Chains A and B, each alone.
Chain A
Amino acid sequence: MNKFDVKELDLHYGDTHALKGINLPIPEKKVTALIGPSGCGKSTLLRTLNRMNDLIENVTIKGDVKLEGKDIYQDRNVAALRMKVGMVFQKANPFPMSIYENVAYGLKAQGIRNKKVLDETVETALRSAALWDEVSDRLNSPAFGLSGGQQQRLCIARTIAIQPDVILMDEPTSALDPIATHKIEELMDELRKKFTIVIVTHSMAQAKRISDKTAFFWMGELVEHGDTEQVFTAPVDERTRGYVNGDFG
């Protein structure tokens, strides 16, 4: 079953044609990796899935992006969409507040004040993000005191707390060292059981390690997509072959 169905999607930033006729199904409870060289449109596609591109001026979008059969650009409730489709960014961006407040933020934004609900959700989310054991004794200290990898896991916990179905990850480990990266990848392996994950990554090794499906982008086009295994070992398109073999890009 597909969580997202992207059909004939065209996206322009002003005069730049950033996405050209994209057709991509994103299966439920699988990890889909979007790969390709810088500027190929993979992050742009990721940001259409939770309408983060709405924040940029001069963006025009044509085509369909369907979440569970419903076009997300027809529905006006962007907040509901973003709670269902959470996002983790390239650089960990905890808010300037305590660890607890960071995780409880999304719930408080919806007016949830019940201390018991908040406490429970914060703990569950931190446990799901494999961070609880490291921070349970200092929930009230500032999030900035955490290491880079911990901050990124905090951002994942913050996203999990709003009970999403999908988690979008925009190069979540590109600013982390190999050990912190490894921890996040382990975590993703757990999360794939409960969430649909779409990850943009520059690391082909990472895409190979963690994803079930891979989509290769090149200059705004979706060149090829399929099972990760197939895309890496038996790519159909010449450009995909060149990229995954490291000939260019």
Chain B
Amino acid sequence: MNQTIAAPTQEFEFKNPALIDALNQSAQKVDWVGRIFNLLFLVSALIGVISVATIGYFLVLEGLPAIQFAGLTNFLLGVDWYPPALYGIGAMIVASVVSALGAVVIGVPVALLTAIFLAEVAPKWLANMIRPAVELLAGIPSVVYGFFGLVIIVPAIESTFNVPAGSTLLAGIVVLAVMILPTVITIAETSIRAIPKTYKEGSYALGASPMFTILKVMLPAARSGILAGVVLGVARAVGETMAIIMVMGNSTAMPGSLLDSARSLTANIALEMSYATGIHASSLYSTGIVLLVFVMLLNTSLLVLNRKRVK
């Protein structure tokens, strides 16, 4: 067992003067490749920033006349949309907010339970069947979701609630809830899987059950990732256009209940852009400003929520 390592039988020349010279010369050279790549990195990073700035600039530039024409309060809080006379998008703000929130209320619990199931509970073979299905859901074009809503959800609402037209806020909520599933599931599952194994081991070693471990250790530890998923889901719901146009009826009146037809901010832009001119066209850009502000608020709320936890 105590074998000794044989000493080298020959002396080696460890230093190679020619190589040392080459290394020194290389160290003196200006690193052009590095500089070029640094520039490329910077330019690429700036493209995103410039795009956001440009979009914001032109939205404000084009949208400002309509807001000046209607007055900011009337524009945001007014519930009458009769171009070219009245430009109030209050009803559409309500429609967008309610449909997105409704989608979150239905979609997030389902997504969260699915994510836990995939990350912690399901046997491998089952998770490997469900995960591709969820990922496929993410790739389905929103116009196809619209079909799904028209063929299944809208008639179901008509027969369940006995209303003449099933194209309602509720239909929008259900379709959006399904649409945000893949976003929330994928991000939540990834963040649950990213939790160090040591948490789980520590919890099991104290005799805690798998369920207790998931609820008390895993979910809190994955909190910031899960929140990010939820916010991205909300952003997707607020920004969704095509499917919403197909299932929500697009009435400009203030919806009185979930069983009323409604028009979202995005739908408003898409429906009228083709024929609007003058102040009317400008008002659609203003609608876009409101959407942009919504998304900014969402992102900020995520930052604030995550910062609170760190303290």
Chain A interface residues toward B at CB < 8 A: 50, 52, 55, 79-80, 82-83, 86-87, 89, 91, 93-97, 105-106, 108-110, 155, 158-159, 162, 238-239, 242, 247-248
CB-based nearest B residue for A239: B1
Q: Is the beta-carbon distance between A79 and B198 smaller than 8 angstroms?
A: no
Q: Is the beta-carbon distance between A238 and B1 smaller than 8 angstroms?
A: yes
For B207, give its contact among A96, A106, A242 (CB under 8 Å): A106
A109/B205 contact (C-beta < 8 A), A89-B198, A93-B196, A95-B217 known = no
- Binary per-residue interface labels of chain B (182-214) against chain A in the complex, 1 for a CB within 8 Å, 0 otherwise: 000000000000001011111111111100100
Q: Is the beta-carbon distance between B2 and A242 smaller than 8 angstroms?
A: yes
For this complex, 27 residue pairs linking A to B, each with C-beta atoms less than 8 Å apart, are A52-B204, A55-B200, A55-B204, A79-B207, A82-B204, A83-B206, A86-B205, A89-B198, A89-B205, A93-B196, A93-B199, A93-B202, A95-B199, A95-B221, A96-B199, A96-B221, A105-B208, A106-B206, A109-B206, A109-B209, A155-B202, A159-B205, A162-B207, A239-B1, A242-B1, A242-B2, A247-B2
Q: For residue A158, which residues in chain B have a CB less than 8 angstroms away from its CB?
A: 202, 206
Q: For residue B196, which residues in chain A have a CB less than 8 angstroms away from its CB?
A: 93
Q: Is the beta-carbon distance between B209 and A95 smaller than 8 angstroms?
A: no
CB-based nearest A residue for B213: A109
Q: For residue B71, which residues in chain A have a CB less than 8 angstroms away from its CB?
A: none
For B212, give its contact among A52, A109, A155, A159 (CB under 8 Å): A109
- Name 7 extra pairs, CB < 8 A, besides A79-B209, A91-B198, A93-B198: A86-B206, A93-B201, A95-B202, A95-B217, A109-B207, A109-B216, A238-B1
Bound CA–CA A155/B205 (angstroms): 11
Q: Is the beta-carbon distance between A82 and B207 smaller than 8 angstroms?
A: yes
Give the number of residue pairs across the A-B interface with Cβ within 8 Å. Answer: 72
Q: For residue B206, which residues in chain A have a CB less than 8 angstroms away from its CB?
A: 82-83, 86, 105-106, 109, 158-159, 162
B220 at the interface (CB under 8 A from A): yes
Expressed in whole angstroms, the minimum distance between the Cβ of B56 and any Cβ of chain A is 37
Bound CA–CA A108/B221 (angstroms): 18
Expressed in whole angstroms, the minimum distance between the Cβ of B31 and any Cβ of chain A is 38
For B208, give its contact among A50, A55, A106 (CB under 8 Å): A106
Q: For residue B198, which residues in chain A have a CB less than 8 angstroms away from its CB?
A: 89, 91, 93
Bound CA–CA A91/B206 (angstroms): 16
Expressed in whole angstroms, the minimum distance between the Cβ of A109 and any Cβ of chain B is 4
Chain B interface residues toward A at CB < 8 A: 1-2, 196, 198-209, 212, 216-217, 220-221
Bound CA–CA A106/B196 (angstroms): 19
Q: Is the beta-carbon distance between B205 and A87 smaller than 8 angstroms?
A: yes
Q: For residue B208, which residues in chain A have a CB less than 8 angstroms away from its CB?
A: 79, 105-106, 109
Expressed in whole angstroms, the minimum distance between the Cβ of B123 and any Cβ of chain A is 11
A80/B199 contact (C-beta < 8 A), A109-B212, A242-B2 known = no
**Closest 5 pairs (CB-CB, A-B):** A109-B208, A93-B198, A106-B206, A83-B207, A87-B205
CB-based nearest B residue for A82: B207
Q: Is the beta-carbon distance between A52 and B201 smaller than 8 angstroms?
A: yes
Expressed in whole angstroms, the minimum distance between the Cβ of A196 and any Cβ of chain B is 16
Q: For residue A87, which residues in chain B have a CB less than 8 angstroms away from its CB?
A: 205
Q: Is the beta-carbon distance between A97 and B220 smaller than 8 angstroms?
A: yes
Bound CA–CA A238/B2 (angstroms): 9
Q: For residue B209, which residues in chain A have a CB less than 8 angstroms away from its CB?
A: 79, 109
Bound CA–CA A233/B292 (angstroms): 76
Bound CA–CA A107/B173 (angstroms): 42
Q: For residue B207, which residues in chain A have a CB less than 8 angstroms away from its CB?
A: 79-80, 82-83, 106, 109-110, 162
Q: For residue A79, which residues in chain B have a CB less than 8 angstroms away from its CB?
A: 207-209
Q: Is the beta-carbon distance between A82 and B217 smaller than 8 angstroms?
A: no
Expressed in whole angstroms, the minimum distance between the Cβ of B310 and any Cβ of chain A is 10
CB-based nearest A residue for B211: A109
Bound CA–CA A52/B205 (angstroms): 7
CB-based nearest A residue for B310: A142
CB-based nearest B residue for A101: B216
Expressed in whole angstroms, the minimum distance between the Cβ of A92 and any Cβ of chain B is 9
Q: For residue B2, which residues in chain A have a CB less than 8 angstroms away from its CB?
A: 242, 247-248
Q: Is the beta-carbon distance between B205 and A50 smaller than 8 angstroms?
A: yes
A105/B203 contact (C-beta < 8 A), A91-B198, A242-B1, A247-B2 known = yes
Bound CA–CA A248/B4 (angstroms): 10
Expressed in whole angstroms, the minimum distance between the Cβ of B224 and any Cβ of chain A is 11
Bound CA–CA A97/B218 (angstroms): 12
Q: Is the beta-carbon distance between B212 and A89 smaller than 8 angstroms?
A: no
Bound CA–CA A158/B207 (angstroms): 12
Q: Is the beta-carbon distance between A89 and B201 smaller than 8 angstroms?
A: yes
Expressed in whole angstroms, the minimum distance between the Cβ of B1 and any Cβ of chain A is 5
Expressed in whole angstroms, the minimum distance between the Cβ of B73 and any Cβ of chain A is 45
Q: For residue B201, which residues in chain A have a CB less than 8 angstroms away from its CB?
A: 52, 55, 89, 93
CB-based nearest B residue for A245: B2
Expressed in whole angstroms, the minimum distance between the Cβ of A185 and any Cβ of chain B is 21
Expressed in whole angstroms, the minimum distance between the Cβ of B215 and any Cβ of chain A is 10
Expressed in whole angstroms, the minimum distance between the Cβ of A203 and any Cβ of chain B is 21
Expressed in whole angstroms, the minimum distance between the Cβ of A236 and any Cβ of chain B is 14
